[in-house]
Amino acid sequence: MNNQINQNQELSSVLKQQYDNLPYPQIPIEKSPDGLYNSLFIHNLVTSYYLYKQQIIDTNNQIILDAGCGSGWKSLVLAKANPGVKVVGIDLSPESVKIAQHRLNYHGYNNAEFYAIEIEQLGQLGYQFDYINCDEVIYLLPSPLEGLQALKSVLKPDGIIRINFHSYYQRFHFLKAQKLFQLMGLFESNPEEMEVEIVLETMQSLKDKTDLKKNTWLNNFSSFNLGSDKCQESVLMNYLLQGDKAYTIPEIFQLLGQTELEFLSMVNWRHWNVRELFNDQDNLPAIWEMGLENISVEESLHIYELLNPVHRLIDFWCVNAQSSPDTIQPLSTWTREDWQKSKVYLHPQLKCAKIKEDLINSLKNQQSFVISTYIPLPTINSVELETNVAACLLNLWEGEKTMAELVDFWLKIQPLDLITCQPLTEKQAWHQVIKTIIKLENFLYVLVEKSAK
């Protein structure tokens, strides 16, 4: 037991030294996340909370933890994406924490606090959090289970955790590289410039057909300027990453069960669909059609990672098992009464001046509007909106609308049936608006909340 404690303390010390020497990520203080719509969409609480409750959350006065905040880039993204929140960041590197505080202050976010502590010490802060972002951290901890338990202990009952693990199947060759360089003695002290140079020299000297070079170097590093800070950072984060560990889907679900956390959704959920891997997803081989029909979420995700391990991170949201996700009723099953007492919202991350300007220009030029250009995360292929649908979006810009209001607006912009040229009936308009909303809600570009009344 004492030996394990000493090993854990030694690893924490080495990681602290590595990130003190090279705070991560190395993004200039003055850089703003404005325009990074995809990242802001992920980090906006509205996105994950809607998947959790099918409700719209007001981010004002919410408390967010950025666990393993590093140099504070994600803390800034969280603050930008969620107006009115309080951001609390922790990291084991004092130098990283100083940069993070400076970054948030520089961009005018004064309601942010940063502490140089380990995740296991979170209870000392006395906070309970509405949302926890733990990005690129948990797989580096000496005990990911203890890390998850620490995060859960400071999570509010209806809170959400965003967390990710390195994928064992995708990361396999880099894990081999780390073992190689451990054998060469490059992990005996904190890797620095000399160790980076040895890695670079080794990989350049190997034949291209060598398995390790082919699977780690040629597709990832061959285009780098080998003397750049970016190259050094990438070598340290891949070939020389202290404490790196990788997991399979079953191992992650086991950890969640041990921590009494429940899986909510992959962050890039549409990119984990097994059916998308087949040429004709509507006509699968019979054994697959039957097999996929009744499998669990865990089994489906595990099948995907076995078939197509392309995601470096197994990146997901989870919640308290005691407050398990509500049963979400798909919009396609809603009754007319459900629709009549609902409100439709534009996702707040689409409400920026640049997107609105582009939308208006597409309407003026009578061109389709490619909405997936801005937030491609929930899509597989590009999503184009016809002018009448784009105009419907513009109507949501100033605030939510009832379905009756949207139907009324639809009748004004498209008064005729395009096939018969007869006046569009209210029933037809309802059908067309519902069809449009269901399509857009599938990507979370619009959100629909049923009134409790």
Of the pLDDT bands very low, low, confident and very high (cuts 50, 70, 90), residue 326 is: low
Q: Could you tell me the sign of the dihedral formed by the alpha carbons of 193, 195, 197, 203, in that order?
A: negative
Per-residue tokens: 36: 């990074």
pTM here is 0.91
> Using DSSP, how many helices (H) and how many strands (E) does the chain show?
18, 13
Average of per-residue pLDDT values in the chain: 91
pLDDT one-digit tens code per residue, 187-243? 988 888 999 999 999 999 999 999 999 999 987 777 777 778 888 888 999 999 988
pLDDT at site 16: 58
User: For 44-57, what is the mean pLDDT?
Assistant: 96
Strand partners, 385: 369
Say which residues have a Cβ less than 8 Å from residue 9's Cβ, sequence separation at least 6: none
DSSP string, 334-366: --HHHHHTEEEEE-GGG-SHHHHHHHHHHHHTT
DSSP string, 194-221: HHHHHHHHHHHHS-TTSHHIIIIITTTT
pLDDT at 13 over 80: no
pLDDT one-digit tens code per residue, 73-83? 999 999 999 99
**Higher local confidence (pLDDT), 427 or 23:** 427
φ, ψ at 399 (rounded to 5°): 160, 175
Nearest residue to 135 (alpha-carbon basis) of 93, 74, 87:
74
Q: Are 346 and 332 in contact (CB under 8 A)?
A: no
Of the pLDDT bands very low, low, confident and very high (cuts 50, 70, 90), residue 57 is: very high
Domain(s) labelled CATH 3.40.50.150 in the chain stretch across 2-169+245-268+311-323
- CA separation for the pair 299, 305 (Å, rounded): 10
Helix (H, G, I), strand (E, B) or coil at 277: helix
pLDDT at site 23: 63
pLDDT one-digit tens code per residue, 256-301? 999 999 999 999 999 999 999 999 999 999 999 999 988 999 999 9
pLDDT at site 97: 95
Cα angle vertex 173, ends 242, 206, to 5°?
100
pLDDT at site 445: 97
Strand partners, 344: 401, 448
Per-residue tokens: 121: 């010490």
Nearest residue to 136 (alpha-carbon basis) of 101, 171, 160:
171
Of the pLDDT bands very low, low, confident and very high (cuts 50, 70, 90), residue 11 is: low
Q: Are 78 and 47 in contact (CB under 8 A)?
A: no
Helix (H, G, I), strand (E, B) or coil at 285: coil
Alpha helices in 308-424 (DSSP H): 336-340, 353-364, 387-395, 403-413
pLDDT at 19 over 60: no
Backbone angle region of 160, left / alpha / beta, with phi > 0 → left and psi within -120 to 50 → alpha: beta
pLDDT one-digit tens code per residue, 116-145? 999 999 999 999 999 999 999 999 999 999
Q: Between 3.30.70.60, 3.40.190.290, 3.30.70.3040, 3.40.50.150, what CATH number should domain 2-169+245-268+311-323 receive?
A: 3.40.50.150
- CA separation for the pair 334, 431 (Å, rounded): 12
Of 5-9, 43-47, 394-398, highest mean pLDDT: 43-47
User: For 408-437, what is the mean pLDDT?
Assistant: 89
Strand partners, 251: none
Of the pLDDT bands very low, low, confident and very high (cuts 50, 70, 90), residue 9 is: low
Of the pLDDT bands very low, low, confident and very high (cuts 50, 70, 90), residue 12 is: low
Cα angle vertex 221, ends 218, 227, to 5°?
140
pLDDT at site 422: 85
User: For 306-333, what is the mean pLDDT?
Assistant: 89
User: Comparing 59-63, 262-266, 326-330, 348-352, which segment has the lowest mean pLDDT?
Assistant: 326-330
> Beta 155-167 vs 246-247: how paired, if at all?
parallel
**Higher local confidence (pLDDT), 453 or 78:** 78
pLDDT at site 324: 60
Q: Could you tell me the sign of the dihedral formed by the alpha carbons of 119, 120, 126, 129, in that order?
A: positive
pLDDT one-digit tens code per residue, 69-116? 999 999 999 999 999 999 999 998 999 999 999 999 999 999 999 999
User: For 416-438, what is the mean pLDDT?
Assistant: 88
DSSP string, 123-191: GGG---EEEEEE-S-GGGSS-HHHHHHHHHHTEEEEEEEEEEEEEHHHHHHHHHHHHHHHHTTTTSS--
- CA separation for the pair 303, 292 (Å, rounded): 10
